[in-house]
Amino acid sequence: MIINEGFKPKRKANEKLPPGQYEETGFPVLSLGPTPKIDLGEWRLVVDGLVEKELSWDWKEFAALPAEDVTKDIHCVTKWSKFDTKWRGVPLDHIMDLAGVSPEATHLIAHSYDGYSTNIPIEDIRAGGPGKAGSQAWVAYLYDGKPLEAEHGGPARLLVPHLYFWKSAKWLKRLEFVKGDKPGFWETRGYHNYGDPWKEQRYTND
Ligand SMILES: Nc1nc2c(c(=O)[nH]1)N[C@H]1C(S)=C(S)[C@@H](COP(=O)(O)O)O[C@H]1N2
Ligand SMILES: [Mo]
């Protein structure tokens, strides 16, 4: 029996579904190419660009950073949405604090081990921005309590659930802070530069 369920304000399934999306219960894999095999002993995550202090973590150092457990809905531009996905990750605003991101920086460019990249405005990765209170972006490394599977971006991926899922770069390698925008892989190939699922910003001119 579930007690106190009534105290949790839960959106009904249809209210959780952005326009044009359907609910998916599996976890589809969408990758440009083959899954890069990244040995934990060789993995590094670099933070650079407009920062006071460039950072470069190996796996042990990264795993020791303060992390959060979050449950989020995710929305892929190919129209599937998956509700209540569970992740553990390091909040981006914490990483930004550690690096001392310059007030001049306007965007984060996430770079991946497979050559993929994607651009996200700074206010979308800071706590308390358009994605509501608290952190709104993470470098995630556990999914459902287990190490993130390679096909889903392990060892670590970006998680920006309030934007279409292509913004959540898998196999994360480098967080580059820049002044001025720098559209990434899909953003230069016909997809929307920002990608708000609730506004159905799928393609460039949506
Ligand atoms: N590095 C990298 N990240 C990526 C991709 C990719 O091909 N390479 N695909 C993107 C797209 S289009 C989507 S929808 C999601 C898919 O994540 P999933 O395979 O875990 O469902 O990852 C995004 N991140
Ligand atoms: Mo996608």
Task: Give the position, in ligand 1's atom list, of the atom nearest the Cα of 113.
Answer: 1
Q: Which amino acid is at 163?
A: L
Is the distance from the beta carbon of residue 143 to the nearest atom of ligand 1 less than 6 Å? no
Could you tell me whether strands 138-143 and 68-75 are parallel, antiparallel, or unpaired per DSSP bridges?
A: unpaired
What's the rounded Cα separation, in Å, for the pair 183 and 152?
22
What's the rounded Cα separation, in Å, for the pair 141 and 67?
10
pLDDT tens by residue, 64-79: 999 999 999 999 999 9
- Tell me what percent of the residues of the chain surpass a pLDDT of 90: 88
What's the rounded Cα separation, in Å, for the pair 78 and 40?
31
Residue 1 binned pLDDT confidence (cut-offs 50, 70, 90): very low
Q: Which amino acid is at 31?
A: S
Task: Give the position, in ligand 1's atom list, of the atom nearest the Cα of 77.
Answer: 14
Question: What backbone phi and psi angles, to 5 degrees, belong to 91?
Answer: -65, 140
Check residue 35 and report its DSSP letter.
Answer: P
* Per-residue b or e along 72-85, where b marks 16 or more CB atoms closer than 10 Å to that residue's CB: bbbbbbeebbbbeb
Enumerate the domain spans of the chain: 43-199
SS3 69: strand
Tell me if 160 sits within 8 A of 194, measured CB to CB: no
Residue 104 binned pLDDT confidence (cut-offs 50, 70, 90): very high
The confidence score (pLDDT) of residue 130 equals 60
> What number is the average pLDDT over the span 43-68?
98
| Rg, the chain, Cα only | 17
What's the rounded Cα separation, in Å, for the pair 173 and 65?
16
> Is the predicted pLDDT of residue 190 greater than 80, yes or no?
yes
Is the distance from the beta carbon of residue 169 to the nearest atom of ligand 1 less than 6 Å? yes
User: Across all residues in the chain, what is the average pLDDT?
Assistant: 93
Beta bridge partner(s), residue 79? none
State which CATH number among 3.40.50.2300, 3.90.420.10, 3.40.640.10, 3.10.180.10 fits the domain covering 43-199.
Answer: 3.90.420.10
> Is the predicted pLDDT of residue 131 greater than 60, yes or no?
no
What's the rounded Cα separation, in Å, for the pair 45 and 59?
8
- Tell me what percent of the residues of the chain surpass a pLDDT of 70: 91
The confidence score (pLDDT) of residue 128 equals 75
**Prediction pTM value:** 0.93
Distance 191 CA to ligand 2 centre (A): 10
Name the residue with the closest Cα to ligand 1, atom 12.
Answer: 166
Distance 61 CA to ligand 2 centre (A): 30
pLDDT tens by residue, 32-45: 999 999 999 999 99
> Is the predicted pLDDT of residue 12 greater than 90, yes or no?
no
Token look-up 């190419």 returns 33
What's the rounded Cα separation, in Å, for the pair 18 and 161?
12
